[in-house]
């Protein structure tokens, strides 16, 4: 689950992209196990590009692997390390790297292969690489629990998020424990794609949500039945692999006891994995709606006490405004 980025963070990303200028592009083939076909998809693409006349070389092959004979290979150094010096001197347009996760032997310029790839990209060379989810650092402990095998070489998740393109190489799992790895892989890919989607929406000045990822906003007050709302929110966010946010619109002159209740509600939300936001604004509904739109929320949870009072006023009721203003967002009203 990824947090939707703020406009400032998106701006930073744009600036970072501009700053990187002539950096080569990175395309990654991601699979959940060996044998799903990552390498063959990658080499197929290499052959197609080469046949279209692109200047392309292979910089790394797996110990048991053999690249297609038509492709030019720059032999690896001892211990399987990429010969970065030769790749840079040869300076092709595209460089293929089979298996991104690899520990270079002691004494190498970089301890890890993904760092070699980063250096190759910095020189303006495009890289196409394959990786197995089992070798992503953040998942190593989980993978070890699932497979019972210790994983040695890893690549940080952030490196995958930095890829310009990511392709999932999928196939139905033959063993049950692989199903879980497959789900981790698909959800990671969905999050990376979601980040790209946000970038597009932002570029085109579109607010709101494309709705591919569920984002739940719990509106907390001192009076709300926080436990039920947070439990439901956590549950639904987990089932949909969505994002959970809890927000409170600051109110002037809150009694000390109410403040204590509110703080404990917010703490409960934090422990349930919610992102906590304290909003400012004279108009509670406006403040909530503006925030919800900015974050691409798909469901808003509010307490009934708030709701009932509002519904009682027939015209221009605040909850009516919330529903009317919440285009693209469902409103779930909770009992007290």
Partner 1 sequence: MAEGRLKIYLGYAAGVGKTYQMLGDAQELSRAGRDVVIGYFEPHGRAETIARTEGIETIPRRKVEYRGRVFEEMDTEAILLRHPEVCVVDEFPHSNIEGLERTKRWQDVNALLAAGIDVLTTMNIQHLESLNDQVWQLSGVRVRETIPDWVMKQADEVVLVDLTPGALINRLIRGVVYPPEKSQQALENFFQEPTLVALREMAIRQTAHESESHHGDPGESARQPEGVTERILIVVTPDPSSAAVIRRAKRVADYLHGDCIAVGIAGGKDADAVDRHLGFARNLHIESQTLEPAGDPAEAVVSFARERGVTQIFLSHSKAAGPKKFFHKPIDEGIIARSPDMQVTIVSNRPRL
Name the site residues for partner 1 (rule: CB under 8 A).
27, 165-173, 176, 179-180, 182-183, 186-187, 189-190, 193-194, 196-197, 200-201, 204, 206, 208, 210-213, 231-232, 234-236, 238-241, 299, 304, 307-308, 311-312, 314-315, 323-324, 326-336
CB of 81 to partner 1, least distance (A): 29
- Closest CB to partner 1 among residues 16, 212: 212
Whichever of 231 and 283 has its CB closer to partner 1, that residue is 231
Minimum CB separation of residue 164 from partner 1 in Å reads 9
Shortest Cβ 36–partner 1 spacing (Å): 10
- Between the CA of residue 218 and those of 9, 239, 242, 312, what are the distances in Å? 23, 16, 13, 22
Minimum CB distance to partner 1 smaller for 12 or for 330:
330
Cβ proximity to partner 1: between 33 and 329 the closer is 329
> What minimum distance in Å lies between the beta carbon of 78 and partner 1?
35
* For partner 1, the closer CB: 118 or 241: 241
Packing angle of the helix pair 140-147, 176-203 (nearest 10 deg): 160
> Structure tokens of 325?
């203003």
Burial (CB count <10 Å: 0-12, 13-18, 19+), residue 101:
buried
Q: What angle do CA 32, 113, 65 make, to 5 degrees?
A: 60
Find, among 28, 43, 83, 79, the residue nearest to 59 by Cα: 83
- The conformation of residue 204, written as its DSSP 8-state character, comes to T
Q: Nearer Cβ to partner 1, position 110 or 196?
A: 196
- Alpha carbon distance 112, 99 (integer Å): 12
Least Å distance between CB 96 and partner 1?
Answer: 16
Q: How far is the CB of 2 from partner 1 (least distance, A)?
A: 11
Question: What's the min distance (Å) between Cβ of 89 and partner 1?
Answer: 30
| Rounded Cα distance, 97 and 203, in Å | 32
Q: How far apart are CA 20 and CA 17, in angstroms?
A: 5
3-class DSSP state of 182 = helix
Spatial distance between the Cα atoms of 133 and 173, rounded to a whole number of angstroms: 14
Count of beta carbons in the 10 Å neighbourhood of residue 212: 11
Measured from the CB atom, the residue of 100 and 229 that comes closer to partner 1 is: 229
């Amino acid at each position: 689950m990824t947090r939707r980025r703020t406009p400032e963070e998106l701006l930073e990303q744009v600036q970072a992209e501009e700053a990187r200028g002539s950096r080569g592009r990175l395309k990654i083939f991601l699979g959940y196990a060996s044998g799903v076909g990552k390498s063959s998809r990658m080499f197929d693409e290499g052959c197609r590009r080469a046949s279209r006349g692109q200047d392309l070389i292979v910089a790394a092959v797996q110990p048991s692997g053999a690249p297609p004979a038509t492709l030019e290979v720059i032999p690896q150094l001892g211990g399987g390390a990429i010969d970065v010096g030769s790749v840079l001197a040869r300076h092709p347009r595209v460089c293929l790297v089979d298996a991104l996760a690899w520990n270079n032997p002691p004494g190498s310029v970089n301890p890890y292969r993904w760092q070699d790839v980063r250096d190759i990209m910095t020189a303006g060379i495009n890289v196409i690489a394959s990786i197995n989810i089992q070798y992503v650092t953040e998942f190593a402990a989980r993978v070890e629990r699932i497979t019972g095998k210790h994983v040695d070489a890893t690549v940080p998740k952030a490196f995958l998020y930095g890829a310009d393109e990511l392709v999932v190489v999928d196939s139905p799992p033959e063993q049950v424990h692989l199903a879980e790895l497959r789900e981790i892989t698909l959800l990671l890919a969905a999050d990376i794609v979601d980040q790209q989607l946000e970038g597009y929406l932002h570029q085109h000045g579109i607010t709101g949500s494309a709705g591919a990822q569920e984002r739940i906003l719990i509106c907390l007050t001192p009076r709300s039945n926080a436990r039920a709302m947070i439990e439901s929110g956590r549950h639904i966010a987990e089932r949909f692999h969505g994002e959970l946010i809890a927000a409170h619109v600051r109110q002037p002159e809150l009694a000390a006891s109410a403040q204590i209740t509110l703080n404990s509600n917010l703490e409960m939300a934090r422990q349930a994995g919610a992102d906590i936001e304290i909003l400012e604004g004279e108009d509670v509904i406006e403040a909530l709606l503006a925030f919800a739109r900015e974050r691409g929320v798909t469901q808003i949870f509010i307490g009934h006490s708030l709701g009932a009072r509002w519904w009682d006023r027939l015209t221009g009721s605040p909850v009516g405004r919330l529903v009317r203003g919440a285009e693209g967002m469902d409103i779930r009203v909770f009992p007290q």
